[in-house]
Structure 1
Amino acid sequence: MLFNLNKAIEILERTPDTLTSMLDGLSDEWINNNEGEETWSPFDVIGHLIHGEKTDWLVRTELILSDKTDKKFPEFDRFAQFEESKGKTLSQMLNEFKILRKNNLEVLQSKNITVEDLNKTGVHPTFGDVTLKQHLSTWVAHDLGHIAQISRIMAKQYRDDVGPWRAFLPILDR
């Protein structure tokens, strides 16, 4: 499938509800367990998604579309959620993510992005020149990757309890 903004938005607008359905109301063990040392829990992933809504996807989109000559993206702190999520409940964070995403998609849609706009570039601190199309495609893949990550984290909580079925459950060993 080639990139299509409307199809991308179909995924982006569903992510908050998908995650709320998966996680809201679950016990702390499901929310706070991770895959081992230096890995993230579902709680941490939601915090990371919130931070991205505030500082990454729309901020960089607007920079690419701007008339500025310096289009170097600001660094993204992949670990900011550990401080920013302190004292919050998962329900609060899921609600915050839903509101931020809704607002960001409204702004994105108000840009009336053209095919020409999709070819405009910004400068990623690691990758160099990237197009708006690549950036927006990454936003979608990023969402789907974190949904898969949360599923994997949760599945691994029963890795040792599934017995011989582990041979048919590759998610438990990824």
Structure 2
Amino acid sequence: MTFSLDRSIELLERTPNVFKIMLLGLSADWTATNEGGDTWSPYDVLGHLIHGERTDWIPRAEVILAENADKTFTPFDRFAQFEESMGKSLAQLLDEFAAVRSQNLDRLRAFNLTDQDLDKKGVHPALGEVTLSQLLATWVVHDLNHIAQISRVMAYQYKNEVGPWIEYLRILNS
């Protein structure tokens, strides 16, 4: 399957509702627990997604589309959510994510991107040259990655309770 902006937007506009349905109203036992060590809880993932909405996807698309000669992206702080989310409830994060995602999709649509635009390039600080279509495809897969991550983190809460069925539950054996 080749990149499609319309198919990408289909998924990107649904992600906030996926998280809202999945997490709203659950106890902190489900939403604040991680897999141990430096892993992230569902709460942490939401904060990370919000930070990405503000500093990653659309700002980097704007760098690519700008007429400036310097196409280098600002480095992304993958851990900024720990400071930015402090003191906020999960419900606040869910609402905030929905609002910033909606604004970003409006901005994306307003670009009126052409095939030539999707081939334009920027420079990622670690990966080097990337196209706009690669950036946008990564935004989609990033959402799916974090949906899978939250599912896995929540499933791990019952890892020891499923007994012998564990051999059939790939999510617990990854």
TM-score using structure 2 length: 0.99
Q: For residue 11 of structure 1, what is the aligned residue in structure 2?
A: 11
Q: Deviations over 1:88-138 (max 9, x none)?
A: 000000000000000000010010000000000000001110000100000
> Does residue 126 of structure 1 match 2:133?
no
Trace 1:5-154 onto structure 2 (pairs within 5 A). 5-154=5-154
Distance across 2 between alignment mates of 1:96 and 1:146: 17
Q: Distance in 2 between matches of 1:6 and 1:86?
A: 35
Give the secondary structure class of the aligned counterpart of 1:157: helix
What does residue 167 of structure 1 align with? 167
- Partners of 2:115 and 2:46 lie apart in 1 by 32
Residue type at the aligned position of 1:32: A
Partner Cα distance (1:109, 1:60) in 2: 15
- CA distances 1:26-80 after superposition (whole Å, capped 9, x unpaired): 0010001101111000000000000000000000001101101001000100000
Cα distance in 2, alignment partners of residues 120 and 93 from structure 1:
33
C-alpha separation in 1, matches of 2:46 and 2:98: 11
Task: Return the letter of the residue paired with 1:10.
Answer: E
Letter of the aligned partner of 2:70 in structure 1? D
Q: For structure 1, which runs of at least 5 residues remain unmatched after alignment?
A: none
- Find the aligned partners of 1:111 and 1:118 in 2 and give their Cα distance: 11
- 3-state SS in 2 of match to 1:34: coil
Runs of 4+ deviating beyond 2 Å: none
Mapped to 2, the partners of 1:123 and 1:151 lie a distance apart of 32
Identity of aligned residues (%): 59
Deviation at 1:170, TM superposition (A): 1.2
- Structure 2, unaligned stretches of length 5 or more? none
Amino acid in the other structure paired with 2:54? K
Between the two proteins, the alignment pairs up a number of residues equal to 174
| Superposed CA RMSD | 0.4
2-structure distance, mates of 1:135, 1:113: 13
Which residue of 1 is the match for residue 156 of structure 2?
Answer: 156
Q: Distance in 2 between matches of 1:88 and 1:100?
A: 16
Q: CA deviation at 1:173?
A: 2.1
Quick one: which amino acid aligns to residue 146 of structure 1?
Answer: H
C-alpha separation in 1, matches of 2:24 and 2:60: 30
Q: CA separation in 2, counterparts of 1:53 and 1:165? A: 38
What TM-score, normalized by structure 1, do the two folds share?
0.99
